[in-house]
């Protein structure tokens, strides 16, 4: 988070995406630095867009995935400068998670940064989505939110493959069984 | 639209103003100088530059809003712009862009869109009176050079 904060603090008038569902801390932090914040609760959007059956079977057709992407992230190509994905992509069915990351890649401009988190494989299916609040440039408050959900396990190799379209990937020390990733587009 | 009763019992901070009741649907633009509470359905833009708009828990609004203060408990689809604050309360659902001096979004509210804060520059201190001119004029080359017009550097196109 610190490297993301340093980067955010050193820039002006950025367009930042937050997929964790907006909260006052993140709003104050990002807009306080003079940036615009595009907020969407990705997991809530997934629940309301797809039917119970689609979510249960996790069988999502390509047109449905495309429609979800258009509905959820309809920013123009290369119009955003950074994305706070938190741990959301890990709680989407794998093809949808990959499609969403590819869409994020498309709307980000060159050299943009992405912050993502992955639950350690050892946590297994008991992992719950986390609410992440930026308290200040060096402190992040993480707490479970919502119900337990099916989770896609990622090894370090799988994370690298997941972010294959990005130029560079940095792994940070695990905290609370969460691994932080900073990817540069 | 009824002007009375007001909703002060339910929204204590709301002053007397107009109410679109639970069972009313209004289609069209609303503008004026009075606070407005929407408990029913409103399809149209709202322009209350000096007043507050409150969308109650049963209220639904589809349209652009410009007001001094905006408080949302219900559902809104459209851009919100407030010269002072916007509050999106718990259980509210807002899809649209938000621009305000002080945006407040409570936990459990659903919000999708862009948030931007309006920065208000603090009032400038009154300019100090210019010191009395020195009895002897300074040499011409020591005086600051003045640019034409408003004193700002000119931008020139080549």
The Cα B149–Cα A57 span in angstroms is: 70
Contacts of A23 in chain B (CB under 8 A): 105, 107
Give strand pairing partners of A168.
Answer: A184
- Partner residue opposite A39 with nearest CB, options B106, B111, B119: B111
Domain that holds residue B112: 17-117
**pLDDT at residue A185 greater than cutoff 70:** yes
- Give the per-residue pLDDT at B10: 56
Residue B74 lies in a domain: yes
H or E stretch at A47: helix A42-49
Residue B30 lies in a domain: yes
**pLDDT at residue B134 greater than cutoff 60:** no
Residue B131 lies in a domain: no
> Residues of chain B with pLDDT > 90: what percent?
61
Of the pLDDT bands very low, low, confident and very high (cuts 50, 70, 90), residue B129 is low
H or E stretch at B20: strand B17-20
SS3 A18: strand
Burial label for B71, CB within 10 Å (0-12, 13-18, 19+), is: buried
Residue B150 lies in a domain: no
- How far, CA to CA in Å, does B3 sit from each of A51, A74, A154, B16, B18? 42, 40, 59, 8, 4
Chain A within 8 Å of B117 (Cβ-Cβ)?
yes
Q: Which B residues, 134 through 153, put their C-beta within 8 Å of a C-beta on chain A?
A: none
- Give the per-residue pLDDT at B23: 95
* ipTM over the 0.90 cut-off: no
Model confidence over A76-93: pLDDT tens digits?
A: 999 999 999 999 999 999
Identify from B89, B94, B112, B118 which residue to disrupt to test chain A contact, counting A C-beta atoms within 10 A and taking the largest count: B112
* Ordered alpha helix ranges (H), A58-123: 62-72, 94-107
**pLDDT at residue A48 greater than cutoff 70:** yes
Burial label for B104, CB within 10 Å (0-12, 13-18, 19+), is: middle
Nearest CA in chain A to B115: A37
Number of domains in chain B: 1
- Give the per-residue pLDDT at B114: 95
- Give the per-residue pLDDT at B136: 43
Chain A within 8 Å of B77 (Cβ-Cβ)?
no
Mean pLDDT of A1-15: 81
Tell me how far apart the terminal alpha carbons of chain A are, to the nearest angstrom. 17
User: Hey, are the CB atoms on A39 and B112 less than 8 Å from each other?
Assistant: yes
Residue B27 lies in a domain: yes
Domains and CATH numbers, chain A: 2-184 (3.40.50.150)
Task: Give helix A62-72 / helix A94-107 axis angle, nearest 10°.
Answer: 40
- Give the per-residue pLDDT at B81: 96
Structural tokens at position B133? 């001119």
A80, A15 Cβ separation under 8 angstroms: yes
Nearest CA in chain A to B99: A36
Residue B146 lies in a domain: no
- Partner residue opposite A39 with nearest CB, options B106, B113, B117: B113
Contacts of A31 in chain B (CB under 8 A): 103, 115-117
Residue B3 lies in a domain: no
């Amino acid at each position: 988070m610190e490297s993301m904060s340093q980067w955010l603090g050193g820039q002006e008038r950025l367009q930042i995406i937050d997929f964790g569902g907006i909260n006052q801390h993140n709003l104050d932090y990002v807009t306080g630095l003079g940036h615009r914040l595009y907020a969407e609760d990705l997991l809530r959007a997934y629940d309301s867009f797809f039917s119970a059956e689609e979510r249960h079977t996790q069988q999502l057709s390509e047109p449905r995935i495309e429609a979800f992407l258009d509905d959820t992230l309809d920013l123009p190509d290369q119009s955003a400068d950074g994305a706070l994905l938190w741990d959301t992509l890990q709680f989407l069915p794998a093809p949808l998670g990959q499609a969403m990351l590819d869409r994020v890649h498309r709307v980000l401009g060159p050299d943009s940064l992405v912050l993502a988190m992955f639950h350690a494989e050892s946590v297994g299916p008991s992992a719950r989505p986390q609410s992440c609040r930026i308290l200040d440039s060096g402190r992040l408050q993480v707490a479970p939110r919502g119900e337990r959900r099916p989770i896609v396990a990622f090894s370090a190799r799988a994370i690298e493959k997941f972010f294959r379209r990005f130029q560079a990937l940095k792994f940070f020390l695990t905290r609370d069984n969460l691994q932080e990733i900073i990817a540069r587009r | 639209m009824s002007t009375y009763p007001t909703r002060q019992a339910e929204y204590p901070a709301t002053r007397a103003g107009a109410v679109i009741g639970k069972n009313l649907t209004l289609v069209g633009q609303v503008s004026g100088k009075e606070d407005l509470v929407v408990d029913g359905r409103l399809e149209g833009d709202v322009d209350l530059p000096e007043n507050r708009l409150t969308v109650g828990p049963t209220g639904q609004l589809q349209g652009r809003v410009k007001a001094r203060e905006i408080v949302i408990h219900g559902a809104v689809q459209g851009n919100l712009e407030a010269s002072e604050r916007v509050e999106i309360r718990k259980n509210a659902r807002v899809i649209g862009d938000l621009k305000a001096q002080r945006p407040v979004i409570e936990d459990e509210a659903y919000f999708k869109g862009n948030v931007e804060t309006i920065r208000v520059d603090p009032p400038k201190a009154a300019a100090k009176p210019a010191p009395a001119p020195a009895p002897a004029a300074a040499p011409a080359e020591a005086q600051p050079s003045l640019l034409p017009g408003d004193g700002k550097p000119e931008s020139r196109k080549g």
